[in-house]
Amino acid sequence: MPIYRLIDEIVFPPPHRASESGILAVGGDLSPERLLTAYSEGIFPWYSEGEPILWWSPDPRFVLYPDDLYVSKTMRQVLRRKIFTITCDTCFRDVMTACGRPRAKQKETWITTDMLEAYYALHELGFAHSVEAWRDGKLAGGLYGVSLGRCFFGESMFTTVSNASKAAFITLVRRLQAMGFGLIDCQVFTAHLESLGARSMPRNEFLRLLRAALRYETVRGDWGRIFDARAANHSLAD
């Protein structure tokens, strides 16, 4: 199936036209309007430095229902001991920069400079959020993503201290559960997220759930005001 080349008008082809690998379109820009349109239709950008912008809508889709979150005995102990202090939206740029550093055996990152600036613009508009795990006053791990309606689209996570990103993710999921979120988009399979309860589903089912989640008003702004990390950690430890 041919890959659709985007034009200046902010419009995407239907997700079912994606290639077998999940690529749907190429080109366009990373303006807030185009990004928000893409996410609302189950589409996201993913490309490497020097490549044109690639837009994806994979089938199957990897997702997590907040109610299905699995917290291991080890992580319950970590949270109970309050090894990490969890915050939200305190240093979005730092979190995204850390997520963009190449992993072991990687030479490049898909979080380009343009991607960093584009998602920071979404953060400034109140649509993109970061969750931070601190230890001894230093950023030890975290994640960032986009929120629309009652769906959170996870983008990337990082850790420099064992279990830091897990602590941030678990705390976020519990908070989203309390806020009535019904869906967390993990995009594509990873064993790490599978161990936390994520699973694959057909793209059509994901899109149906996404449409239902988008019927709700988006909780915009600084999530730090409504995200009480200490209370979330306490509830997880119980």
**Neighbouring residues of 89: CB distance < 8 A, sequence distance ≥ 6:** 123, 129, 130, 222, 223, 224, 227
Q: Which of 157, 61, 45, 63 is nearest to 110 (CA)?
A: 45
- pLDDT tens string, the chain, 238 residues long: the values are 678 999 899 999 999 999 999 999 999 999 999 999 999 999 999 998 889 999 999 999 999 999 999 999 999 999 999 999 999 999 999 999 999 987 655 556 789 999 999 999 999 999 999 999 999 999 999 999 999 999 999 999 999 999 999 999 999 999 999 999 999 999 999 999 999 999 999 999 999 999 999 999 999 999 998 766 334 444 444 3
In order of their start, the domains of the chain are 4-58 (3.30.70.3550), 62-237 (3.40.630.70)
**Neighbouring residues of 222: CB distance < 8 A, sequence distance ≥ 6:** 89, 126
